[in-house]
Amino acid sequence: MHIMEGFLPAAHAAGWWVVTAPFLAAGVRSLRRVIHEHPQARLLLGAAGAFVFVLSALKLPSVTGSCSHPTGTALGAILFGPSLLSVIGAMVLLFQTLLLAHGGLTTLGANAFSMAIAGPWVAYGVYRLLRGAGRSLAVATFAAAALGDLVTYLVTAAQLALAFPDPAGGFTGALVKFMSIFALTQIPLAMAEGLLTVIIMNALTTYSADELRALDILPARSAAP
C-alpha cells in the first residue's frame, strides 16, 4: 500500500475497480446521511479525513511496487461507520496520486479496497465487538486502529500475490513472502497508529464531547434530577 501506477496487470486493476465501485456508491449515501443527520459533525468529519491524509502520506519503501505507512482510517470508521470511509479513503488516495505521485489511477480501485474498505470494516467490527464486551474506549480504539491497519496490508499482500504468484508456491507461497516483508515495517507501524488514534480520541472526548455524544460514541448526559 499504495500499489504504484501500472504495477498491476490490467485485468486485475479493472477487477478491483469493479469490486470497489458498490462500496463507493454506498459510501456516498452514507456521507449524505451523516451530513443531513449530524450537521454539527462536519468539522469532525473534516478532521477524520485530514487524519487519513496525513498518516497515509507517511510512506516507507517496502515490497517492490508498494510501500508501508499508517492508514488513519479507524478513527473515521469508529466515528461515522465504515461505509463512509470508502469515500474519504478514495478521495485521499486520489489526491495523493495526483499531488504526491503516491499510488496510481489504474491501481486506485485496488488501493481503495484495501485501505478504504477492508481496513475500516475490520476496525469498526473490532471496535463494536470490544465495546459490546464492556472494554474501555481506549482499549477498543487501540485494537481497532492496529488491526484495521494490519488487515489493510494483509489485503494488499493478497492482491499482489494474486497478480504475481510464486513460480513454485503459487498464490500461497507469494502471499507468505509478501506478508513476511510487510510485517517488518507494518507491525510496529500498526502499534504506533493504535496509540496515536487513542491520543486523538482522548482529545476529542475533551474538546468535542457533544459531537461524540450525538454520534453515540460517548453516553448521553444524565438528566438533571
Q: Are 83 and 27 in contact (CB under 8 A)?
A: yes
Q: Pick the closest to residue 196 from 48, 72, 53 (CA basis).
A: 72
> Is pLDDT above 90 for 196?
yes
Report pLDDT digits (tens) over 25-54: 999 999 999 999 999 989 999 999 999 999
What backbone torsions phi and psi does residue 8 show, to the nearest 5 degrees? Answer: -85, 145
- Fold for 10-214, please state it: Arp2/3 complex 21 kDa subunit ARPC3 (1.10.1760)
- C-alpha cell at position 66: 508498494
How high is the pLDDT of residue 223?
Answer: 44
Report pLDDT digits (tens) over 167-180: 999 999 999 988 88
Taking residues 120-138, report their average pLDDT.
97
Q: What is the DSSP string of the chain?
A: -PPPTT-S-HHHHHHHHHHHHHHHHHHHHHHHHHHHH-GGGHHHHHHHHHHHHHHHT--EE-STT-EE----HHHHHHHH-HHHHHHHHHHHHHHHHHHH--S-STTHHHHHIIIIIIHHHHHHHHHHHHHHTT--HHHHHHHHHHHHHHHHHHHHHHHHHHHS-BTTTHHHHHHHHHHHHHHHHHHHHHHHHHHHHHHHHHHHHHHSHHHHHHTTSSPPPPPP-
- C-alpha cell at position 16: 478491483
Lowest mean pLDDT across 82-91, 110-119, 180-189: 180-189
Q: Are 105 and 97 in contact (CB under 8 A)?
A: yes
pLDDT interval class at 225 (50, 70, 90)? very low
> Is pLDDT above 60 for 222?
no
Q: Where are the domains of the chain?
A: 10-214
Give the list of residues 6+ apart from residue 25 with CB closer than 8 angstroms, or none: none
